[in-house]
Amino acid sequence: MLNLLLKPLLGVASQAVTGFVETKKAKAESKLVEIKAKTALREKQIAGEVSWEASAVDQMKGSWKDELILICLLAPAVAVFFPGMTHHIEAASEMLDSRWAKQTPNRAKKLSSQMEDLAS
């Protein structure tokens, strides 16, 4: 009777262990393949077969920082063309040219950027 109960339970447990072991093997193999690919790329870079520029472009595919900086720098330049926004930009530049800005430069930069942000 006990044999009838233990046999199915042991079968389920052995299948779970087998699945766990196979999952670990698959993960280890994928890491090994990734390491081999990176090593092969480095060897080709060292040998000069792959140009560094192409490699750098591949590494920056998911980069968003350049686009964010570009938008931040272009926002005031674009805002100049909107009639209601020019006075905010003029005020921000006058703030930076004042004596107050020389006395408190960090505060002046912060507030002038807020004025420019109002224009954006």
Domain boundaries, the chain: 16-59, 65-119
pTM over 0.85: no
Q: For 8-37, what is each residue's pLDDT tens digit?
A: 777 878 888 888 889 999 999 999 999 998
Is the pLDDT score of 119 beyond 70? no
CA dist 3 to 13, 36, 88, Å?
15, 49, 85
State the average pLDDT over residues 62-81.
Answer: 80
